[in-house]
């Protein structure tokens, strides 16, 4: 299990315990955190679970999935710190992870 | 005005199979979809990806599933209205009048919403000022490429649409292609071609840049871009094109009074009717306790919603379950000879 902090674009923070094996996206959706749409349900077929991860954590995360950057091209305001939260699988090592949500997803 | 028993909103697998079920029980239907082809997410998002959980089909791609469904509903002679979107509905004498964005009108007894996560629309620039020029000099699709002749065009994006248009328009326009990273997801042959053209100075390519603002008094004059390293550049241009793929938007359905919560429409599980009489919702867009967002669930929901429509379209007839293996009537509808 890992404590994940989701910070909305307006600054609202949500700290959630997410079970190992779930994705950071699922952690948000199951806990009704606004700002993550996840339209395709985690199939990496849309870009509506887009989050920003600051450098300190970005480099500690497992590498991007093949095709993840292609989907991120189609996200709202992607940057070099963008990830798809459906592709970040939670493990003990991610305890304390902070993700920032974009202004909007669509 | 097109008169029908059922109007299906959405031509994904759920909507297509529902058309089959309506055909089997002898109801007429029309299908509206905002994409320019049948198949919904299957054809737009994952045409080449294999699907393994369609009953009795061990493996098929999104495109194969779509083609099989189209084949399966061929006998029923339904009409599809593509690149069009339902806009508003009005109830009149227990029937529904539906208008589309292209101005078509339907008079229907039932509406079945099989809209998935919404209709596909191009993703737009996040920059507010782009709206001022949208449709004139800021564009998300190209209808007439001759307008770009001898003009300067800045294209944003890294997929096939962006690459193909950059290559095509570079023949007679001054083209700058801008992408947020060094890698392009377009076809490798297009990426090669792009590099060649850049070397020959036939077009310009800037990577690790994204849009910051557009400037112009009435007509577009320039676009401002910012780099990953903070650098800001201004490029004078006549047109700005954005190709960032498609997003899904529920759109006008939100205004139909269907108690939509988190993009989902609550339904009953007897016939998948919504809170409004004669409006049903099936597939990914509907919600009920235990709902699974699987294609196979959409098939089941469509079969039951079709029977729900029968009750309203044929109030004086009693619905009788008939099997395709034995029923003469159903076989006639299917056009199969005994």
Nearest CA in chain A to B160: A70
pLDDT tens profile B22-72: 999 999 999 999 999 999 999 988 888 899 999 999 999 999 999 999 999
Indicate the pLDDT class of residue A104, thresholds 50, 70 and 90: very high
Q: Residue B229, Cβ neighbours under 10 Å: how many?
A: 8
Q: What is the Cα–Cα distance from B209 to B245, expressed in whole angstroms? A: 18
Q: Are residues B143 and B72 in the same domain?
A: no
Q: Helix or strand or coil: residue B55? A: coil
Domain with B279, as residue range(s), is: 2-121+247-334
Q: Are residues B77 and B14 in the same domain?
A: yes
Residue whose pair of structure tokens reads 């099936």 in the numeric block: B282
Task: Please report the DSSP string for B277-310 in residue order.
Answer: TTEEE-GGGEE-TT----HHHHHHHHHHHHHHHH
Task: For residue B183, list chain A residues with Cβ-Cβ distance below 8 A.
Answer: 69
pLDDT tens profile B268-307: 999 999 999 999 999 999 999 999 999 999 999 999 999 9
Q: Which class is domain A2-100?
A: alpha beta
- CA dihedral sign, ordered A11, A17, A21, A22: negative
First CA to last CA distance, chain B = 37
Indicate the pLDDT class of residue B219, thresholds 50, 70 and 90: very high
- φ, ψ dihedrals at B72, nearest 5°: -65, -30
What residue spans of B36-133 are helical by DSSP H?
A: 40-44, 62-73, 130-133
Domain end residue (candidates: B189, B213, B244) = B244
Please name the member of B126, B180, B248 whose beta carbon is closest to the beta carbon of A73: B180
Q: Are residues B216 and B146 in the same domain?
A: yes
Indicate the pLDDT class of residue A51, thresholds 50, 70 and 90: very high
Q: Are residues B194 and B156 in the same domain?
A: yes
DSSP-derived secondary structure letter, B75? G
Q: Are residues B19 and B115 in the same domain?
A: yes
Q: Are residues B302 and B257 in the same domain?
A: yes
pTM of the model: 0.83
Indicate the pLDDT class of residue B325, thresholds 50, 70 and 90: very high
B45 and A46 within 8 Å at the Cβ level: the answer is yes
Is the distance from CB of B63 to CB of B47 less than 8 angstroms?
yes
Is the distance from CB of B292 to CB of B312 less than 8 angstroms?
no
Task: Give burial (CB, 10 Å; 0-12/13-18/19+) of B196.
Answer: exposed
What is residue A41's predicted lDDT score, i.e. its pLDDT?
84
Task: For residue B210, list chain A residues with Cβ-Cβ distance below 8 A.
Answer: 77-79
What does DSSP say about strands B50-51 and B60-61: parallel, antiparallel, or unpaired? antiparallel
Q: Does A31 touch chain B (CB under 8 A)?
A: no
* CATH number, domain containing residue B129: 3.50.50.60
What is residue A43's predicted lDDT score, i.e. its pLDDT?
84
A73 and B179 within 8 Å at the Cβ level: the answer is yes
Q: Are residues B70 and B153 in the same domain?
A: no
B35 to chain A, closest Cα gap in Å:
16
B228 and A79 within 8 Å at the Cβ level: the answer is yes
What is residue B283's predicted lDDT score, i.e. its pLDDT?
97
Task: For residue B287, list chain A residues with Cβ-Cβ distance below 8 A.
Answer: none
Q: Are residues B117 and B258 in the same domain?
A: yes
For the sheet containing B232-236, what is the strand order? B209-215, B222-227, B232-236
What does DSSP say about strands A82-84 and A98-100: parallel, antiparallel, or unpaired? unpaired
Please give the average per-residue pLDDT across A4-25, as a whole number: 97
Indicate the pLDDT class of residue A106, thresholds 50, 70 and 90: confident
What is residue B106's predicted lDDT score, i.e. its pLDDT?
98
What is residue B337's predicted lDDT score, i.e. its pLDDT?
79
What is residue B45's predicted lDDT score, i.e. its pLDDT?
82
What is residue B48's predicted lDDT score, i.e. its pLDDT?
87
pLDDT above 90 covers what percent of chain B? 92
Q: Are residues B36 and B98 in the same domain?
A: yes
| Residue B95 confidence (pLDDT) above 80 | yes
A39 and B248 within 8 Å at the Cβ level: the answer is yes
What is residue A62's predicted lDDT score, i.e. its pLDDT?
92
Query: What ranges make up the beta strands (E) of B199-336?
Result: 204-207, 209-215, 222-227, 232-236, 239-242, 246-249, 265-266, 279-281, 286-287
Count residue pairs from A and B with Cβ separation < 8 A. Answer: 59
- CA dihedral sign, ordered B64, B86, B122, B148: positive
What is residue B9's predicted lDDT score, i.e. its pLDDT?
98
How many domains does the structure of chain B reveal? 2
Q: Are residues B27 and B58 in the same domain?
A: yes
């Amino acid at each position: 299990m890992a404590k994940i902090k989701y910070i909305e674009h307006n600054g609202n923070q949500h700290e959630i315990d997410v079970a190992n094996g779930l994705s950071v996206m699922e952690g948000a959706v199951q806990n009704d955190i606004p700002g993550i749409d996840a339209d395709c349900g985690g199939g990496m077929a849309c870009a509506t679970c887009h989050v920003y991860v600051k450098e300190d954590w970005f480099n500690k995360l497992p590498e991007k999935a093949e095709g993840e950057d292609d989907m991120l091209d189609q996200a709202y305001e992607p940057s070099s710190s963008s990830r798809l939260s459906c592709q970040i699988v939670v493990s003990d090592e991610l305890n304390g992870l902070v993700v920032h949500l974009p202004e909007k997803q669509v | 005005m097109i008169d029908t028993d059922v109007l299906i909103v959405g031509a994904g697998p759920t909507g297509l199979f529902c058309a089959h079920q309506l055909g089997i029980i002898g109801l007429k239907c029309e299908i509206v979809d905002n994409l320019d082809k049948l198949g919904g997410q299957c054809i737009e998002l994952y045409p080449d990806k294999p699907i393994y959980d369609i009953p009795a089909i061990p493996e098929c791609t999104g495109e194969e599933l779509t083609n099989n469904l189209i084949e399966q509903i061929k006998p029923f002679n339904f009409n599809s209205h593509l690149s069009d979107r339902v806009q508003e509905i009005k109830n009149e004498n227990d029937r529904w009048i539906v208008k589309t964005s292209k101005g078509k009108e339907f008079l229907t007894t039932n509406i079945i919403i099989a809209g998935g996560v919404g209709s596909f629309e191009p993703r737009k620039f996040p920059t507010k000022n782009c709206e001022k020029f949208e449709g004139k000099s800021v564009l998300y699709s190209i209808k007439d490429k001759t307008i770009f002749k001898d003009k300067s065009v800045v294209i944003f994006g890294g997929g096939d649409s962006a690459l193909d248009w950059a290559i095509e328009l570079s023949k007679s326009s001054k083209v700058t292609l801008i992408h947020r990273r060094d890698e392009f997801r377009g076809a490798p042959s297009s990426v090669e071609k792009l590099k060649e053209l850049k070397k020959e100075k036939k077009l310009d390519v800037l990577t690790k840049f994204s849009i910051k603002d557009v400037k112009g008094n009435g007509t577009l004059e320039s676009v401002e871009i910012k780099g990953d390293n903070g650098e800001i550049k201004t490029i004078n241009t006549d047109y700005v094109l954005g190709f960032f793929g498609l997003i899904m938007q529920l759109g006008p359905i939100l205004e139909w009074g269907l108690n939509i919560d988190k993009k989902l429409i609550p339904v009953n599980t007897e016939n998948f009717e919504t809170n409004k009489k004669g409006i049903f919702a099936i597939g990914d867009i509907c919600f009920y306790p235990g709902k699974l967002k699987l294609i196979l669930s959409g098939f089941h929901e469509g079969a039951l919603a079709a029977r729900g429509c029968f009750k309203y379209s044929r109030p004086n007839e009693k619905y009788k379950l008939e099997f395709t293996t034995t029923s003469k009537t159903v076989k006639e509808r299917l056009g199969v000879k005994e």
